[in-house]
């Protein structure tokens, strides 16, 4: 039920005249298509991703080939995607290229109101008879991006990685090692007022023994 209301809301907003101005290219008048097979080609570039304002992907260059088949009962759409998108590296936060090469299917039916029967089957009002594919194209691209995206070894921004590592280590130390009074429970104070940590003392002893 929640999925239906989300889908209905997106459709009403996305198909409004104000929104469609940026995405007229992706509008298909299904009602006036005769039974048969139709071919469409789209190129999704940076402006597309910026205009659609999604959170997963904001830059890219992706070619899309759509084969649409109208039958007596529905409109069967086969999408082929090929290109690259830019996303932030999970490790250093710099942009990195992710290849996009996949296929998706979408079946559109006419009905009284917007609905989503499954991940691949949607219903649109027959009296409107048109569908704008922009959001579907974006979703297909975004879903093709792996959950984890990290630069290959040696390609990360070393300065940023180092800063993030230090910050993460510092945060972990502050959360795990300090007691309620803000002092590390394992640290002791020598007579000369210098703080020593027995863990480091043990490590120092091991190193000295190895040197001897």
Q: What is the pLDDT of residues 93-147, one digit of tens each?
A: 888 899 999 999 999 999 988 888 888 899 999 988 999 999 999 999 999 888 8
Tokens of 47: 């402006």
CA distance 179 to 31: 69
In whole angstroms, give the CA distance from residue 45 to residue 31.
29
Cα separation, 28 vs 124, whole angstroms? 12
pTM of the model: 0.67
């Amino acid at each position: 039920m929640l999925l239906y209301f989300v889908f209905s809301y997106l459709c009403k907003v996305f198909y409004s005249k104000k929104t469609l101005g940026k995405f007229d290219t992706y509008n298909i008048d299904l009602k006036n298509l005769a039974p048969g097979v139709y071919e469409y080609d789209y190129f999704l570039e940076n402006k597309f991703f910026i205009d659609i304002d999604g959170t997963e992907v904001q830059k890219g260059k992706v070619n899309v080939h759509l084969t649409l088949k109208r039958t007596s009962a529905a409109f069967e759409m086969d999408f082929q995607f090929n290109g690259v998108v830019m996303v932030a590296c999970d490790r250093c936060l710099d942009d990195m290229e992710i290849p996009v090469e996949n296929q998706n299917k979408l079946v559109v039916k006419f009905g009284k109101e917007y609905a989503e029967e499954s991940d691949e089957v949607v219903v649109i009002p027959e009296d409107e008879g048109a569908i704008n594919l922009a959001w579907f194209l974006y979703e297909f691209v975004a879903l093709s991006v792996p959950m984890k995206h990290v630069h290959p070894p040696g390609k990360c921004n070393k300065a940023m990685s180092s800063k993030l590592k230090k910050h993460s280590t510092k945060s972990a130390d502050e959360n795990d090692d300090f007691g309620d009074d803000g002092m590390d429970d394992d640290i002791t104070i020598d007579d000369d007022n210098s703080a020593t940590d027995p863990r480091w003392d043990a490590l120092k002893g091991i190193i000295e023994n190895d040197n001897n």
